[in-house]
Amino acid sequence: MSSSTPARTLAHPAISARLLWVALAVVAALSLLTYLVAFDQGAVSQSGMYLHELMHDGRHLLGVPCH
Amino acid sequence: MPTFLSVLLRGLLAGLVAGLIAGTFAYFAGEPRIDAAITIEEQATHSEPGTGEDHHEDELVSRNGQRAGLFLATGLFGVAMGGLLATAYVLLRRRLRTADDGRAALLLAGGALLGAVVVPFLKYPANPPAVGNPDTINQRTGSYLLLVVLGLVAVWAAALGYRAVRPDAPEWQRGAAAVGGFLLVTAVSYIVLPTFHEVPEDFPATLLWNFRLASLGTQVVLWTGIGLLFAALLTWSGGGRSGGGGRDRRQVADRLAGSADGPGETDEARNGVDAPVRP
């Protein structure tokens, strides 16, 4: 396999501080998305209750406490 | 960060597709129950005008809009969960002591389904419209999120229990230790966290049961789909970035971990060596 070179260069980021920061940023962004879909009551999205109402059925069926 | 990005994109795509499949399931299994619950809710609101402070009444989004929004919600939720699973995969791949990327992905998705869905659901089951006291929404949301975290801790405790028993011990002993770790954390969590009894006395039990089954089913479909699709995307193709056909299913593991994981190898040993230690 030709995987020895990628293994050498790509294994390092798996434990580097930079990868951890990037992963943290990704987790933060995806948590915000989760919040907007499942928990926002209009305060963060500044959409009033529009997003809340639009995705209301999804909240209930995904099992998130709603009201 | 090419490796993380490529894994992340696979997770996001798996999550989007699985979210739309889960939305389809929810549409057929759950929407009739939501409609029935809304009918009950409106009857209750009309008979008691003083308590009519409910946001279903303000018509911000039509019912058809909400039915379409269901797919938006499950799709976006799936994207988020798929991305989080992919991130967890990258960070934890070395600690999952299997050489098979697909198995590692399925293990993580199964752990997420158990810890982040089943454990919270059994104490705080999903409720249809017309069930739930708006005054306690903050406590219920906080407790729910805490139980999601504790459920994942319980899965982690299961892994710790499994590994606390010698690898050469009979498998049932390792399995029993895993179950013990899981149950310990889950039981303590259930006892410590508050309980909410908010189902109205006259709410139809059959409707509640069917709604909750549909809700649990939606999450099971979502996580099953994410796990299978993510595992498939990890193993199906390397994307041709570094060339070469004939990629086997251990390719991403090789790139992430630097070498195939040996069963007896410690995390420290693997983390300390970036270059392949074996030909």
Domain definitions of chain B by residue range: 1-49+63-131+203-262, 133-198
Which domain covers residue A46, as residue numbers? 4-62
C-beta of residue A60 within 8 angstroms of C-beta of residue B67: no
Q: Fill in the amino acid letter for B55.
A: H
Q: What is the pLDDT along chain B (279 residues), one digit of tens a residue?
A: 458 899 999 999 999 999 999 999 999 999 999 999 999 888 877 765 554 444 445 578 888 899 999 999 999 999 999 999 999 999 998 888 888 899 999 999 999 999 999 999 999 999 998 888 888 889 999 999 999 999 999 999 999 999 999 999 999 999 999 999 999 999 999 999 999 988 998 899 999 999 999 999 999 999 999 999 999 999 876 544 443 334 444 555 555 544 434 444 344 444 433 434 343
Contact predicate B110/B35, CB 8 Å: no
Report which of B242, B241, B208, B251 is spatially closest to residue B37, judged by C-alpha positions.
B208
Q: Has residue A21 been placed in a domain?
A: yes
Report yes or no: B91 and A23 within 8 Å, Cβ to Cβ: yes
Total structural domains in chain A?
1
**Which of B91, B248, B258 has the CB atom closest to A11's CB atom?**
B258
Please report which helix (H) or strand (E) contains residue B50, including its range. Answer: none
Chain-chain contact of B137 with A66 (C-beta, under 8 angstroms): yes
The pLDDT assigned to B208 comes to 95
pTM as predicted: 0.82
Confirm whether A56 is domain-assigned. Answer: yes
The complex's ipTM? Answer: 0.80
Q: Is B275 helix (H, G, I), strand (E, B) or coil?
A: coil
Q: What is the DSSP string of B159-221?
A: HHHHHHS-TTS-HHHHHHHHHHHHHHHHHHHHHHS-------TTS-HHHHHHHHHHHHHHHHH
Pick the residue of B4, B85, B140 with the most A CBs within 10 A to test the interface with A by mutation.
B4
Nearest alpha-carbon partner for B16 in B113, B109, B83: B83
Contact B93 A14 (CB under 8 A): yes
Q: Which residue of A has its CA nearest to B56?
A: A53
B140 touches chain A (CB under 8 A): yes
Residue A67 within any structural domain of the chain: no
- The rounded distance, in Å, linking the Cα atoms of B1 and A18 is 9
Please tell me the number of Cα atoms within 13 Å of B67 on its side-chain side.
13
Amino acid at A44: V
Which of A 12-41 lie inside 8 A of B, CB atoms? 12-15, 18-20, 22-23, 26-27, 30-31, 33-34, 36-39
Asked if A37 and A60 touch (Cβ cutoff 8 Å), the reply is: no
Q: Do A57 and B134 touch (CB under 8 A)?
A: no
What is the share, in percent, of chain A residues with pLDDT greater than 90?
40
- Nearest residue to B38 via CA among A67, A63, A36, A42: A67
